Protein backbone atom coordinates (compact mmCIF):
# COMPACT_ATOMS: atom_id res chain seq x y z
CA UNK A 1 0.00 0.00 0.00
CA UNK A 2 1.33 3.45 -0.89
CA UNK A 3 0.61 4.88 2.59
CA UNK A 4 3.27 2.57 3.94
CA UNK A 5 5.80 3.06 1.17
CA UNK A 6 5.23 6.73 0.27
CA UNK A 7 4.22 8.20 3.64
CA UNK A 8 6.20 5.80 5.81
CA UNK A 9 3.29 4.58 7.94
CA UNK A 10 4.28 1.60 10.08
CA UNK A 11 2.79 -1.72 8.94
CA UNK A 12 0.76 -1.93 12.15
CA UNK A 13 -0.93 1.43 11.43
CA UNK A 14 -1.59 0.50 7.80
CA UNK A 15 -3.21 -2.75 9.00
CA UNK A 16 -5.43 -0.80 11.42
CA UNK A 17 -6.51 1.71 8.77
CA UNK A 18 -7.25 -1.03 6.26
CA UNK A 19 -9.18 -3.02 8.89
CA UNK A 20 -11.63 -0.24 9.72
CA UNK A 21 -14.44 -0.17 7.16
CA UNK A 22 -16.89 1.45 9.59
CA UNK A 23 -16.70 4.96 8.15
CA UNK A 24 -17.02 8.32 9.90
CA UNK A 25 -20.67 8.28 10.98
CA UNK A 26 -22.06 7.52 14.46
CA UNK A 27 -23.47 4.21 13.31
CA UNK A 28 -20.79 1.96 11.80
CA UNK A 29 -21.27 1.53 8.04
CA UNK A 30 -19.10 -1.57 7.87
CA UNK A 31 -16.84 -3.85 9.83
CA UNK A 32 -14.85 -2.36 12.73
CA UNK A 33 -11.27 -3.61 12.76
CA UNK A 34 -8.95 -4.45 15.65
CA UNK A 35 -7.85 -0.83 15.91
CA UNK A 36 -11.37 0.41 16.62
CA UNK A 37 -13.18 3.18 14.77
CA UNK A 38 -10.12 5.03 13.52
CA UNK A 39 -11.83 6.97 10.70
CA UNK A 40 -14.57 8.22 13.06
CA UNK A 41 -11.96 9.21 15.65
CA UNK A 42 -10.05 11.23 13.04
CA UNK A 43 -13.28 12.88 11.92
CA UNK A 44 -14.21 13.70 15.53
CA UNK A 45 -10.82 15.35 16.13
CA UNK A 46 -11.32 17.58 13.09
CA UNK A 47 -14.94 18.26 14.00
CA UNK A 48 -14.03 19.44 17.50
CA UNK A 49 -11.05 21.52 16.40
CA UNK A 50 -11.99 22.83 12.97
CA UNK A 51 -15.77 23.12 12.77
CA UNK A 52 -16.64 25.33 15.72
CA UNK A 53 -16.44 29.07 15.23
CA UNK A 54 -14.68 29.67 18.56
CA UNK A 55 -11.89 27.21 17.82
CA UNK A 56 -11.48 28.41 14.23
CA UNK A 57 -11.32 32.02 15.44
CA UNK A 58 -8.71 31.02 18.03
CA UNK A 59 -6.60 29.21 15.41
CA UNK A 60 -6.94 32.14 12.97
CA UNK A 61 -5.78 34.58 15.63
CA UNK A 62 -2.92 32.27 16.57
CA UNK A 63 -1.92 31.96 12.90
CA UNK A 64 -1.91 35.74 12.41
CA UNK A 65 0.30 36.19 15.48
CA UNK A 66 2.69 33.44 14.31
CA UNK A 67 2.83 34.90 10.80
CA UNK A 68 3.44 38.46 12.00
CA UNK A 69 6.17 37.33 14.40
CA UNK A 70 7.89 35.35 11.64
CA UNK A 71 8.10 38.41 9.38
CA UNK A 72 8.68 41.19 11.94
CA UNK A 73 12.47 40.97 11.87
CA UNK A 74 12.55 40.34 8.14
CA UNK A 75 11.17 43.64 6.92
CA UNK A 76 13.21 46.83 7.45
CA UNK A 77 11.17 49.43 9.31
CA UNK A 78 12.54 52.56 7.64
CA UNK A 79 12.99 51.77 3.97
CA UNK A 80 11.43 49.90 1.09
CA UNK A 81 12.58 46.37 0.43
CA UNK A 82 12.22 44.07 -2.54
CA UNK A 83 11.39 40.50 -1.65
CA UNK A 84 10.71 37.46 -3.84
CA UNK A 85 6.99 37.11 -3.07
CA UNK A 86 6.57 33.43 -3.98
CA UNK A 87 9.44 32.33 -1.73
CA UNK A 88 8.28 34.71 0.99
CA UNK A 89 4.74 33.35 0.97
CA UNK A 90 5.85 29.73 0.84
CA UNK A 91 8.33 30.04 3.68
CA UNK A 92 6.46 32.27 6.13
CA UNK A 93 2.94 30.98 5.55
CA UNK A 94 4.13 27.37 5.87
CA UNK A 95 5.94 28.20 9.12
CA UNK A 96 2.94 30.03 10.62
CA UNK A 97 0.57 27.24 9.58
CA UNK A 98 2.83 24.52 10.96
CA UNK A 99 3.30 26.38 14.25
CA UNK A 100 -0.44 26.94 14.61
CA UNK A 101 -1.55 23.40 13.78
CA UNK A 102 1.36 21.36 15.19
CA UNK A 103 3.19 23.69 17.56
CA UNK A 104 6.73 25.08 17.21
CA UNK A 105 8.50 21.92 18.32
CA UNK A 106 8.02 20.21 14.96
CA UNK A 107 9.98 23.05 13.34
CA UNK A 108 12.62 22.81 16.08
CA UNK A 109 13.10 19.11 15.26
CA UNK A 110 14.11 19.97 11.69
CA UNK A 111 16.13 23.02 10.73
CA UNK A 112 15.35 22.28 7.05
CA UNK A 113 11.62 21.62 7.49
CA UNK A 114 10.59 24.23 4.90
CA UNK A 115 12.99 23.02 2.23
CA UNK A 116 12.18 19.35 2.85
CA UNK A 117 8.44 20.00 2.83
CA UNK A 118 8.54 21.76 -0.53
CA UNK A 119 10.95 19.19 -1.99
CA UNK A 120 8.51 16.45 -0.98
CA UNK A 121 5.64 18.53 -2.37
CA UNK A 122 7.42 18.74 -5.74
CA UNK A 123 8.03 14.98 -5.74
CA UNK A 124 4.81 13.63 -4.25
CA UNK A 125 3.12 12.84 -7.57
CA UNK A 126 6.20 10.94 -8.72
CA UNK A 127 6.29 9.05 -5.43
CA UNK A 128 2.65 8.05 -5.87
CA UNK A 129 3.14 7.00 -9.48
CA UNK A 130 6.50 5.33 -8.94
CA UNK A 131 5.96 3.91 -5.45
CA UNK A 132 7.04 0.45 -6.57
CA UNK A 133 9.88 1.70 -8.79
CA UNK A 134 13.52 1.98 -7.72
CA UNK A 135 14.14 4.96 -5.46
CA UNK A 136 16.87 6.45 -7.65
CA UNK A 137 14.14 7.58 -10.07
CA UNK A 138 13.04 10.16 -7.49
CA UNK A 139 15.94 10.27 -5.04
CA UNK A 140 15.49 13.88 -3.90
CA UNK A 141 11.84 13.23 -3.04
CA UNK A 142 12.69 10.06 -1.11
CA UNK A 143 15.47 11.87 0.75
CA UNK A 144 13.15 14.75 1.70
CA UNK A 145 10.53 12.23 2.84
CA UNK A 146 13.09 10.46 5.01
CA UNK A 147 14.28 13.69 6.62
CA UNK A 148 10.69 14.76 7.34
CA UNK A 149 9.81 11.35 8.78
CA UNK A 150 12.93 11.33 10.96
CA UNK A 151 12.13 14.85 12.21
CA UNK A 152 8.52 13.87 12.89
CA UNK A 153 9.61 10.80 14.85
CA UNK A 154 12.03 12.91 16.92
CA UNK A 155 9.36 15.55 17.48
CA UNK A 156 6.65 13.07 18.49
CA UNK A 157 9.03 11.15 20.76
CA UNK A 158 9.89 14.30 22.67
CA UNK A 159 6.33 15.61 22.64
CA UNK A 160 4.83 12.43 24.11
CA UNK A 161 7.65 12.28 26.61
CA UNK A 162 7.12 15.91 27.69
CA UNK A 163 3.37 15.92 28.15
CA UNK A 164 1.36 14.16 25.47
CA UNK A 165 0.94 10.87 27.30
CA UNK A 166 0.51 12.49 30.71
CA UNK A 167 -2.70 11.75 32.55
CA UNK A 168 -2.35 15.14 34.25
CA UNK A 169 -2.90 17.03 31.00
CA UNK A 170 -5.64 19.61 31.37
CA UNK A 171 -8.88 19.09 29.49
CA UNK A 172 -10.07 21.98 27.38
CA UNK A 173 -6.65 23.44 26.62
CA UNK A 174 -7.02 25.36 23.35
CA UNK A 175 -3.39 25.12 22.25
CA UNK A 176 -0.11 23.80 23.57
CA UNK A 177 3.44 23.85 22.16
CA UNK A 178 3.82 20.12 21.59
CA UNK A 179 0.75 19.35 19.53
CA UNK A 180 -0.67 22.73 18.56
Kindly write down the DSSP assignment for every residue of 66-133, as one continuous string. HHHHHHHTTS-SSS-----HHHHHHHHHHHHHHHHHH-THHHHT-TTHHHHHHHHHHHHHHHHHTTTS
Residue 67 lies in a domain: no
pLDDT at 167: 46
Residue 129 lies in a domain: yes
Report the domain count for the chain: 1
Residue 113 lies in a domain: yes
Of all residues in the chain, the percent with pLDDT exceeding 70 is 91
In this predicted model, which residue has the larger pLDDT, 118 or 8? 118
Q: Find the domain containing 134 and state its range.
A: 104-162
Query: Per-residue confidence at 172, pLDDT binned at 50, 70, 90?
Result: low
Residue 41 lies in a domain: no
Amino acid sequence: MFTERVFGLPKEDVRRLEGDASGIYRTPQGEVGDGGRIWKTIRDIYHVNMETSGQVAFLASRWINDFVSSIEDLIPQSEWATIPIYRFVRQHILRATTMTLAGPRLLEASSMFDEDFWELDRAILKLFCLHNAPRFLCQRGWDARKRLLDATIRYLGGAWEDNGASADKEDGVEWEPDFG
